[in-house]
Amino acid sequence: MQVWPGSPYPLGATYDGRGTNFALFSEVADRVQLCLFDGDRTESRLDLTEVDAHVWHGYLPQVDPGQRYGYRVHGPHDPANGLRCNPNKLLLDPYAKATDGQIEWHQSLFGYNFGDENSRNDEDSAERMMLGVVVNPFFDWTGDRRLNVPYNESIIYEAHVKGLTALHPDVPEAERGTYAGLVQPAVLKHLQSLGVTAVELMPVHQFVHDATLVEKGLRNYWGYNTLGFFAPHAEYSAIRDGGGQVQEFKGMVKTLHEAGIEVILDVVYNHTAEGNHLGPTLSFRGIDNPAYYRLVDDRRQYYLDYTGTGNSLNVGNPHSLQLIMDSLRYWVLEMHVDGFRFDLAAALAREFYDVDRLATFFELVQQDPVISQVKLIAEPWDVGPGGYQVGNFPPLWTEWNGKFRDSVRDFWRGEPNLGEFAARIAGSADLYEQSGRRPFASINFVTAHDGFTLRDLVSYNDKHNEVNGEDNRDGESFNRSWNHGVEGATDDPEVLAERARAQRNFLSTLLLSQGVPMLLHGDESGRTQNGVNNTYAQDSDISWVHWDALDAPLMEFTATIAKLRAEHPTFRRKRFFTGRASHVGEEQRLNDIVWLHPDGRPMADADWTADGARVIGMFLNGDAIAGKDGTGNAIVDDSFLLYFNGGADDVELTLPPAEYAPEWDVAIDTAADGPEAAPLAAGAARTLAGSSALVLIEHANYDAEPEMSAAASVAAMIKIEDEETNGG
């Protein structure tokens, strides 16, 4: 087969309608072979002889989409100095747009013989390797557009492609747990009923099932074990042949956009699936180990590990940075995704040792005309020194706010943390304002995939991870959870009532706080993992959403709160509270926010730390919303009173005086058995139940019947003429 010179750019396998260009970076290689595989995995090897700027390349006019391929890289093999080339190991293209097959764990995939890490293994690995696939890049995107939903109008739904629909009865069986299943009408209707504006999909980059899990009969469920940064994970596709997963993924994105829902990808650029120095040789390690990985300076056979997974990507190398940026641009430009959540993002900020908010990666993102315009969400920690970086990312970024999670959990289990709780529900200005960011820099969450579900948060004091085969040593031990007196499942109606209220308390707090709320899939309907708080290996009904066991009333409650948020900009402020006064009437002036004592007066300094203080009121002034709307006009809304009682005992409230509002209607009461019809007068007394939340909206008087008669029109016209005659 003739190989034309081709081009060094773009990297990867690129089909242009006539043939395919192949390009692979390796600075350490002496020789690179492109390996093509036919239907029965018969291998043909072709030398790429053209090299430009360490990129080996060639063009094959005979190669069409669906062609499976890999590489063999000849070069120095000196593990002690970080060099691990071995042409006997078939390597996956780091830029592969699709993959075929799965890793079949075997000695041949490793560069050494088991039991002797200093030895060299030359068994051929091709038979058991995942292969790259040439894809058809053409797709009918007609009508698709970027939604650009403002952060402050967003509700994010963290979902797992497989887990969300694997058990859905209204999804065709062949499409359950797939990209196609995610956009079935029943699923879209559910997301829209919750007011979801963006799905944050757990990793869909091609990942590997860890050998240690496979040996136990388990599988990697979360997907934080990436091998292909350009390829949609093949197992989530209903179309398994010829790179069809790419077309299916694009179809999913287009359909979600048509439903008004953005797509955010949870991405893992901080490490790869190749693990530590004892890991397999699958791709990067055999192509150019020192370029792609952070090595220990004086012991280069070992890897720096800021992630707990064995290795860290070398973000200080321009070619590794290029890989990350090329991948991000590909998913935006070719796959039309709307943003990214970066796993262990602090690791990407490590140029040398310490976390550096001015690291090269962030400079590149800031300057990139594509990536800088999409949603960028950081998980602001890693396991390295100084890894907890909440509030320290550059202005362009938003962050998973772990302090919000912890303080809200603490408050609702009765901890005396009024000040911290208030700071978090008001937007965490202490974390974000100093860097020029807005309240929506805080991605607020109470639960996420990594930990208890919401139902389990109120049902278990302890983790129960025995199913993972690690004797319950894995997972977080301190969860700030509360079982309400019984560990796990119970039929005690009092305990069940307390748990039902507790879930509503969390959901109300989450959805009505300043910032961007993120729901974990299934939390709106009472999904349980039976006390497992680390389902990384539970690709099973332990982790999947059980659509036949939904808590329908809780789902309705969640939808109601979400609707309240969507209808009222006072909960979706674009700027932090100022504490400054604003006119609300002829003579009255009130601040944009007022923290209230249960007796109706503003909180004094001593009230925040008083013994037994577990109750806080928050007045949100709808006439004092900073900023303008899309047409440049002032934003005006109803005012709200929010009361939170984190203690067990009932508390007698006195509503604030009439300057706040003459009357109030109950919008939400997590302790109520039914609606409360009569408005509450200013200064009125009202009981706030223990462990409950109460939301009041200023009463609007619509008692007067509208005038519709002809006589009314005549009277109005006469009035106008009189005013004009008399000069107004």
Catalytic positions, please? 343, 379
Sole residue written with tokens 């060299």: 120
Q: Which helix (H) or strand (E) holds 91?
A: none
Q: Which helix (H) or strand (E) holds 669?
A: strand 663-669
Q: Which helix (H) or strand (E) holds 109?
A: none
Secondary structure class of 320 (helix, strand, coil)? helix
E-strand ranges in 477-624 read 516-520, 581-583, 589-591, 593-596, 615-620
- For residues 600 and 656, the answer to whether their CB atoms sit within 8 Å is yes
Greatest alpha-carbon pair distance for the chain in Å reads 104
CA angle 430, 433, 438 (to 5 degrees): 120
Q: Phi and psi for 423 in degrees, rounded to 5?
A: -60, -40
CA neighbours closer than 13 Å in the CB half-sphere of residue 272: 25
- For residues 245 and 255, the answer to whether their CB atoms sit within 8 Å is no
Q: CB neighbours (10 Å) of residue 406? A: 17
Q: Within 166-306, where are the H helices?
A: 179-182, 185-193, 211-215, 244-258, 284-292
What are the structure tokens assigned to 51, written together?
Answer: 């090299």
What are the structure tokens assigned to 140, written together?
Answer: 């009918």
CA-CA-CA-CA dihedral for 329, 330, 335, 336, to nearest 10: 10
Hey, what amino acid is at 591?
N
- For residues 445 and 404, the answer to whether their CB atoms sit within 8 Å is yes
Secondary structure class of 521 (helix, strand, coil)? coil
Secondary structure class of 497 (helix, strand, coil)? helix
What are the structure tokens assigned to 241, written together?
Answer: 């042949």
Residue 576 CA to residue 432 CA, distance in Å, equals 10
Residue 568 CA to residue 394 CA, distance in Å, equals 29
Identify the CA nearest to 692 among candidates 725, 625, 626, 647.
Answer: 647
If you compute the radius of gyration of the chain from its CA atoms, what whole number of angstroms results? 29
Q: Which helix (H) or strand (E) holds 323?
A: helix 318-333
Hey, what amino acid is at 569?
P
Residue 290 CA to residue 269 CA, distance in Å, equals 16
3-state SS of 393-415 is CCCCCEEECHHHHHHHHHHHCCC
What are the structure tokens assigned to 494, written together?
Answer: 């009092």
What are the structure tokens assigned to 202, written together?
Answer: 């757990």
In order of 505, 607, 617, the CA distances from 416 in angstroms are 17, 12, 15
Instruction: Please give the full DSSP string across 588-638, using - where no structure is assigned.
Output: -EEESEEEE-TTSSBPPGGGGG-TT--EEEEEE-TT-EEEE-TTSPEE---
Q: Which helix (H) or strand (E) holds 372?
A: none
Determine how β-strand 339-342 pairs with β-strand 262-267.
Answer: parallel
CA neighbours closer than 13 Å in the CB half-sphere of residue 629: 9
CA neighbours closer than 13 Å in the CB half-sphere of residue 486: 12
Hey, what amino acid is at 33?
Q
